[in-house]
Amino acid sequence: MKNLFRAATLLATMTASVPLLAHTFVYVSEADDGTIARYALNEQTGALQLLGHTHAGGKVMPMTLSADHKHLYAAIRSKPLQLVSWDIDRNSGDLHQSTSVTAAASYPYISTDRQGRFLLGASYDGDVVHVYRLTSDGKLTAPPVGSYKTGHAAHSVIVDASGENAYVGNLGTDRVLQLKLSKEGDLTALGNGYVKTAADNGPRHSVLSPDNRYLYNIGEMGGIITQFRREPGGELVKVAEMPNAVAAQYRLAHGRERPPGYSDTTPRIWSADIRLTPDGRFLYVSERTSSTISGYRVSKADGKLSLIDSWQVEKQPRGIAITSDGRWLIASGEKSAVIGSYAIEAGSGELKRVSEAAAGGDANWVTTVTYN
């Protein structure tokens, strides 16, 4: 009996000393299929395993996580326009629908604040940003509690760490809007309400550095990455511009807006997504015409960018995401039958393709979540 007790005690001690493995799940919205593909990502090898598909109820595109990572939100861009939320099963990655509300506009971009109060949507077609209140358990409520007319073609909206300032990539006006976000969800101009990028750059998506010192915006049509410094009150000051990394190599003409029915066959700059590693050391952008991702080192001193290299990825890469440990980048392709996972070399930021898994029609937005 004593030996059995000692063995049980030893086993318990050994079990307690073994670190719990993390579970990383990847979600990709498949617009043409009206589904969200679910994958497991092996944190050690980067291997992707397709787990299944969740029906979203229409043309599902942008997605975002709740602040506590318990819920996934998505915008349905076919009629009837909707915002949908799912509870995430942290063990299996399965999605269980929680709420579905009528959307006040069609949103190509949605995001949440870190305080778990609001979901924000930028509408390209409606030239507006809307703010929806979230309940304490992450459910969506409608109609929106706040709105702000942006000017032509609002393409993204993100909120800073304080939850007090929002930034909008306004493609049609070559502006990044700077706004105050109140505790009630109202949006008002911060300072004069905007800062400008290069002419015809078409500001699309933005990211904030982990320390909130800098904002980086990628232009869809010019492919220029514009770096802004954030002042203590949240206002932006432009400090640098990084030209498109692949336009000359692939002989890409300057981009144009692409409304429904766009038929120009000239190869043009068509930049899409922008992401930073969680430690802020590396930044990556996707360019759809060349089917490339370009990577940059970020200076710790002043946030300036220096090009690492560009890599061929999935065809017409719409979305990219980086895991919370900064080791893996996942890329989707609107015209690719697979998504790919890429190892991020810790010292150099170089990308190395390590795995792929099947993807549905028009794979676009990529979201990852890790549970310990």
pLDDT tens digit sequence for 192-237: 999 999 999 999 999 999 999 999 999 999 999 999 999 999 999 9
The answer to pTM > 0.85 is: yes
Strands 320-322 and 328-331: antiparallel
Half-sphere exposure of 175 (CA within 13 A, CB side): 15
Question: Given this model, what pLDDT does residue 6 score?
Answer: 45
Q: Taking a C-beta distance cutoff of 8 angstroms, is the pair 207, 215 a contact?
A: yes
Q: Taking a C-beta distance cutoff of 8 angstroms, is the pair 286, 293 a contact?
A: yes
Element containing residue 255 per DSSP (H, E): none
Question: Given this model, what pLDDT does residue 209 score?
Answer: 98
Question: Given this model, what pLDDT does residue 21 score?
Answer: 57
Q: Which residues, at least 6 apart from 94, have a Cβ–Cβ distance to it below 8 Å?
A: 38, 51, 52, 54, 88
Q: Is pLDDT above 50 for 292?
A: yes
Mean per-residue pLDDT, 94-100: 98
Alpha-carbon distance of 203 to 224, in angstroms, equals 9
Question: Given this model, what pLDDT does residue 16 score?
Answer: 35
Q: Taking a C-beta distance cutoff of 8 angstroms, is the pair 100, 57 a contact?
A: yes
> 266-287: b or e for each residue (b if 16 or more CB lie within 10 Å)?
eebbbbbbbbbbeebbbbbbbb
Q: Of 22-26, 41-45, 47-51, 136-140, which range is least confident?
A: 22-26
Q: How far is CA 94 from CA 13, 126, 155, 316, in A?
A: 32, 33, 29, 28
Q: Taking a C-beta distance cutoff of 8 angstroms, is the pair 124, 56 a contact?
A: no
Q: How far is CA 27 from CA 68, 95, 126, 145, 315, in A?
A: 17, 10, 27, 28, 18
Alpha-carbon distance of 117 to 115, in angstroms, equals 6
In sign, the C-alpha dihedral spanning 299, 324, 65, 365 is positive
Q: Residue 259's pLDDT band (boundaries 50, 70, 90)?
A: confident
Q: Residue 121's pLDDT band (boundaries 50, 70, 90)?
A: very high
Of the candidates 37, 61, 8, the residue with the CA atom closest to the CA atom of residue 272: 61
Question: Given this model, what pLDDT does residue 260 score?
Answer: 85
Q: How far is CA 10 from CA 3, 17, 18, in A?
A: 10, 11, 13
